[in-house]
Amino acid sequence: MVNQLTLQQLVDTFCSLSNTEPLSLKVSNLELDSRKVTENDTFVAIIGHAIDGRKFIDNAINSGAHSVLAQAENIENNGHVELRNGAVIVYIYQLDQHLSAIAQKLYGYSNNTVIGVTGTNGKTTISQLIAQWLELMSMPSAIMGTNGNGFLNDLKQAANTTGNAVDVQKILAELADLGARYTAMEVSSHGLVQGRVAKVPFRVGIFTNLSRDHLDYHGTMEGYAAAKQLLFTEHHCEHAVLNIDDVVSQSWLTSRSDAITVSALGKTSASLWAKDIQYSESGITIEYDGKLGSGTLQAPLIGQFNATNLMLAFATLLTLGFEPQALQRVAVQLQPVIGRMELFKAKGKPKIVVDYAHTPDALEKALQALRVHCTGKLWVIFGCGGDRDTGKRPMMAEIAERLADEVILSDDNPRSEDPQQIVSDMLKGMVNPQTAHVLHSRYQAAKFAVEKATEQDIILLAGKGHEDYQVIGTQSVHYSDRESAAQLLGEAL
């Protein structure tokens, strides 16, 4: 529900207004994109990383904005008020840094408990497991992240893992209005550094792991780790749940000595640790112990890293006060997340597993997980994105050659780069590059593998997961690994 605020009430915390007349205009909606502005909206014009939103103030006013919050370039202009074509413009210094707080002030959602999940891999799976689990406990729950925003049966597509500062607050309020008691949100490193979740009141923050990704943005692994740590140090995060099997999180315990720690590798110092884990094609069985309790947890998921994901989700719900026995009873009803170790099978044909693994660590863990289930050959089909971190290309190829029996290099969002150059970079990581198959069409690569593989083989289609597009040049072309898997196996999706 939008709080009933005047323009003056909205901004008075952040600046002293130059205009002595009270700004009594009622603010009901904030928009960062001038193209979305409608009658009586308030346009927010910040100096962005690529675009200066102030260039679009006139467009927003022409579209009906009755007021504008514009970023001031210096402290002297903080609180300056300007009238332009019937609209009021208020200039605020460092508006981009205050935006989350301003939006939170307008869009209140005190009845929506927010859980933040950050880390390189596992964010989508953990957030969806939490939402599923809560729904099974009769607690209406939503998600925000890579697969979309909303309730699991009604997701709205999201442009980014973590939306802008206004949209994050607006969506949380909308979900609360729709009845969400809990929202599990994927929190990206970009979102943390850029202040998109600065004033989100996280009841619990979860850290999954850290491995190579986004170095084109953060520069170094140290910078990337520091960005992730912000959730637990600079943001409101009441409870921290950390995967201490990851070496990075161990160093964070000095700043979060109150953290709930989780170990799937049996570290008995953890708050929740696995005494024994059994893997089968039907799922995972975990015997757990620790100060959070002891018992047995079963769920129909595949792979060691999903044991970690499951335990992190379980620890979070225990931290929120849910009874372990009740959680255990419904855990068997949890479902694998779309495009995350999603199994496709048909009688007489090889199994196909579709997974979003697009980092070296994720690919390694996916192949290791499937090796346990594979009685024949393990195939892998993957590519590397264009216009992104080139250093991970040979690393991923090295992992594929080491852990799979058959390697097919294909395309994965080549963008503006030459796909042949991307493959060339990948081949440099292989000891015997001549053994790799190169098929740029992912569908043809999957078709080739299905035709050559036996019923005992497993084919991992890695990198795209839930995505239903390929970015070629500047165009987004429809393509889905999930659709390819279902079609090649003659199964309905």
Largest CA distance in the chain: 79
Residues 6+ apart with CB under 8 A from 273: 262, 263, 264, 266, 267, 288, 289, 290
- Domain ranges, residue 171: 107-331
Query: Is there a single domain that holds both residue 205 and residue 298?
Result: yes
Phi, psi dihedral angles at 366 (to 5 degrees)? -65, -45
- The whole-number pLDDT of residue 281 equals 76
Residue 347's CB: how many other CB atoms inside 10 A?
A: 7
Is 177 annotated as belonging to a binding site?
Answer: no
Query: Is there a single domain that holds both residue 73 and residue 112?
Result: no
Domain assignment present for residue 101? The answer is no
Residues paired with residue 107 on neighbouring β-strands, in sequence order: 2
Domain assignment present for residue 310? The answer is yes
Query: Is there a single domain that holds both residue 158 and residue 256?
Result: yes
- The whole-number pLDDT of residue 216 equals 56
Is 463 annotated as belonging to a binding site?
Answer: yes
Query: Is there a single domain that holds both residue 417 and residue 323?
Result: no
Is 414 annotated as belonging to a binding site?
Answer: yes
Is 295 annotated as belonging to a binding site?
Answer: no
Tokens representing residue 3 in the block: 């709080």
Query: Is there a single domain that holds both residue 40 and residue 175?
Result: no
- CA angle, corner 472, sides to 470 and 475, nearest 5? 90
**62, 95, 128: which is the final residue of a domain?**
95
Is 85 annotated as belonging to a binding site?
Answer: no
Query: Is there a single domain that holds both residue 120 and residue 212?
Result: yes
Q: What is the CATH number of the domain that holds 173?
A: 3.40.1190.10
Over the stretch 426-472, which tens digit does the pLDDT of each residue have? 999 999 999 999 999 999 999 999 999 999 999 999 999 999 999 99
Is 413 annotated as belonging to a binding site?
Answer: yes
Query: Is there a single domain that holds both residue 409 and residue 480?
Result: yes
Query: Is there a single domain that holds both residue 119 and residue 76?
Result: no
Is 120 annotated as belonging to a binding site?
Answer: yes
Nearest-CA neighbor of 340 among 466, 449, 428, 455? 466
Is 371 annotated as belonging to a binding site?
Answer: no
Query: Is there a single domain that holds both residue 346 and residue 323?
Result: no
Domain assignment present for residue 132? The answer is yes
Q: What is the CATH number of the domain that holds 348?
A: 3.90.190.20
In tens digits, what is the pLDDT along the chain, a chain of 493 residues?
Answer: 688 899 999 999 898 877 656 688 999 999 999 999 999 999 999 998 789 999 999 999 999 999 999 999 999 999 999 999 999 999 999 999 999 999 999 998 878 999 999 998 899 999 999 999 999 999 999 999 988 999 999 999 887 777 899 999 999 999 999 999 999 999 998 889 888 999 999 999 999 998 756 555 545 878 888 888 999 999 999 999 999 999 999 999 999 999 999 999 999 999 999 999 998 878 999 999 999 999 999 999 988 889 999 999 999 999 999 999 999 999 999 998 889 899 999 999 999 999 999 989 889 989 998 998 899 999 999 999 999 989 999 999 999 999 999 999 999 999 999 999 999 999 999 999 999 999 999 999 999 999 999 999 999 999 999 999 999 999 999 999 999 999 999 987 7
- The whole-number pLDDT of residue 223 equals 83
Give the separation between CA 429 and CA 360, rounded to whole angstroms: 12
Cα 215–chain centre separation:
17
Is 470 annotated as belonging to a binding site?
Answer: no
Is 388 annotated as belonging to a binding site?
Answer: yes
Cβ(105)–Cβ(3) below 8 Å: yes
Query: Is there a single domain that holds both residue 257 and residue 354?
Result: no
Domain assignment present for residue 102? The answer is no
Domain assignment present for residue 359? The answer is yes
Is 194 annotated as belonging to a binding site?
Answer: yes
- The whole-number pLDDT of residue 191 equals 87
**331, 362, 394: which is the final residue of a domain?**
331
Domain assignment present for residue 436? The answer is yes
- The whole-number pLDDT of residue 305 equals 87
Domain assignment present for residue 237? The answer is yes
Question: What Å distances lie between residue 238 and 53, 122, 319, CA to CA?
Answer: 34, 21, 11
Query: Is there a single domain that holds both residue 350 and residue 307?
Result: no
Is 421 annotated as belonging to a binding site?
Answer: no
> Into how many domains does the chain fold?
3
Is 375 annotated as belonging to a binding site?
Answer: no
Cβ(162)–Cβ(190) below 8 Å: yes
Is 121 annotated as belonging to a binding site?
Answer: yes
Q: For residue 415, is it left (φ>0), alpha (ψ between -120 and 50) or beta?
A: left
Is 163 annotated as belonging to a binding site?
Answer: no
Is 415 annotated as belonging to a binding site?
Answer: yes
- The whole-number pLDDT of residue 212 equals 59
The H or E element spanning position 27 is: strand 26-27
Domain assignment present for residue 337? The answer is no
Q: What is the CATH number of the domain that holds 88?
A: 3.40.1390.10
Cβ(272)–Cβ(261) below 8 Å: yes
**279, 302, 331: which is the final residue of a domain?**
331
Is 125 annotated as belonging to a binding site?
Answer: yes
Query: Is there a single domain that holds both residue 133 and residue 281?
Result: yes
Is 303 annotated as belonging to a binding site?
Answer: no
